[in-house]
Amino acid sequence: MRAAVYDHTGPAREVLRVVDIERPEPGPGEVRVRVHVSGVNPTDVKARSGQVPRPIDEFQIPHQDGAGEIDAVGEGVDEKRVGQRVWVWFAAAGRRWGTAAEWTVVPDDQAVLLPPTASDELGAMLGVPAMTAHRCLWVDEPPDGQTVLVAGGAGAVGHFAVELAKWTGARVVATAGGPDQIARARAAGADPVVDYRAPDVLEQIQAFAPLVDRVVEVALSANLQLDLALSGPNTRIVTYSSPEPEVTIRVRDCMNHNVDMRFVLLYGVPRPALRAAVRTITVALTELVLTELPVHRFTLDQIAEAHEAVEKGISGKVLVYLQ
C-alpha cells in the first residue's frame, strides 16, 4: 500500500515521505479499514515535528482520524463488520498505523459506524476535535441547560462544542475573529458570536450572560482574565489548548470567583469517558446535529503541504484523500 511515513521528527518537507509498504493485517480484536479520507489535526503535526515527541516504532504513519470502509476483521470480531463505513479515532496513538495510508488497522471499537447521512469528510473531521469537545462539555456533568462560552467557536473543537452544547439545550455564546469565522460560529448555532478582538468583548458577552457556567477554552494564556470576569461559584473553565505554555495565575483572583479549572488532553482521558464520547457523537450524527467545516483538500503526495497548512493555522479542516 502507499503510505506517508516518517522515522524521525522534524520539518514536514524533511521527514515525511510517501512509500510503498506491506499492507497491515488485523490481529485479534482488530479491524482493517481502507481509508478514504484522513483528517489532519494540530496534534499530528506536533508529533511529527517533535514539538510533542512520541516514541517511533521503526516508522510512523501519521494522523489519528479518518473515514473509510472495513475490509477485513481479526479473530473475535464479528465478520458482519466487513463492508461497514466507519470513522476512525486514535489510529496512531501508541501504534504505527495512522490514517495517512491506503489502509489502517485499529482496535474494533476505534472504528465507529458512520451513518449513511454522514459524508466521509465529516467522518474524518470527528475523532480528536469532536471527542475533545465532548470531554470539555461533559467533564464532571453534562452541559444541559447551562450557559456555555466557547472560545474560538469557528475552530474544529469549537465548532463541534457549539453544536453539541446547543443540542443539549445549553445557551451558547462563542468568540471568533473576523466576518467569515463569526458567520461560521453563528451557523453552528451559537446564540451571539462576539469578535474576540473587540475592545468591549466582555461587555458584549455580559449583555447575553453576566456569568457563564462553563468555558471551553482554546487560548488560556490570552483569555484567562476574560474567563475569570465571567466566572462565579458554579463556573468551570475547561482548557484544551493555550498559545503560551506557561500561564501566570493570580490565586486570589481564582479564589474570589470560586472558579473550577480543568485541563483536557484527550490521550489521558479514561477509556470509559472516551467510549461515552463515541456514543454521544454517534447519536448526534444520527440526529444530524454535527456538520462539516470548510474543507482544504490534499492528496497523499501533498502530505507535507497538508501539514504546513495546519501549522500556518489555516481556517477550516485539512483533509488528505486516499481513494
Please write the tens of the pLDDT for every residue from 122-165: 999 999 999 999 999 999 999 999 999 999 999 999 999 999 99
Task: Give the closest residue to 266 by CA, choosing from 292, 240, 231, 303.
Answer: 240
3-state secondary structure 142-156: CCCCCEEEECCCCCH
d(CA 130, CA 289): 12
Residues 218-228: tens digit of each pLDDT? 999 999 999 99
Output the CA torsion sign for 93, 97, 101, 107: negative
19-40 mean pLDDT: 98
Residue 300: pLDDT band (50, 70, 90) is: very high
Cβ atoms within 10 Å of 13's Cβ, excluding its own: 12
Q: CB–CB of 63/38 below 8 Å?
A: yes
Q: Tell me, what's the pLDDT at 116? A: 96
Query: 17-20 and 2-5 as β-strands: parallel, antiparallel, unpaired?
Result: antiparallel
pLDDT average, residue stretch 40-49: 98
Percent of the chain with pLDDT over 90: 97
Asked if residue 280 has pLDDT above 90, the reply is: yes
Considering Cα of 74, then 80, then 83, then 84, what sign does the dihedral take?
A: negative
Q: How confident is the model at residue 323 (pLDDT cuts 50, 70, 90)?
A: confident
The set of cell numbers assigned to 240 is 484544551
Query: Would the pLDDT of 53 be above 90?
Result: no
Amino acid of residue 103: W
Mean of the per-residue pLDDT values of the chain: 97
- Domains of the chain, first to last: 2-126+290-321 (3.90.180.10), 129-267 (3.40.50.720)
Give pLDDT tens digits for 113-134.
Answer: 999 999 999 999 999 999 999 9
pTM greater than 0.85 (yes/no): yes
Residues 6+ apart with CB under 8 A from 14: none
- The stretch 189-215 carries a mean pLDDT of 97
- Provide the grid cell at 223: 483569555
The yes-or-no verdict on residue 261 having pLDDT over 90 is yes
Q: What is the pLDDT of residue 5?
A: 98
Task: Output the pLDDT for position 102.
Answer: 98
For the chain, count helices (H), then strands (E).
11, 15
pLDDT for 195 beyond 90: yes
**Length, in residues, of the chain:** 323
Longest CA pairwise span in the chain (Å):
60
**pLDDT tens digits, one per residue of 76-120:** 999 999 999 999 999 999 999 999 999 999 999 999 999 999 999
Q: Is the pLDDT of residue 21 over 90?
A: yes
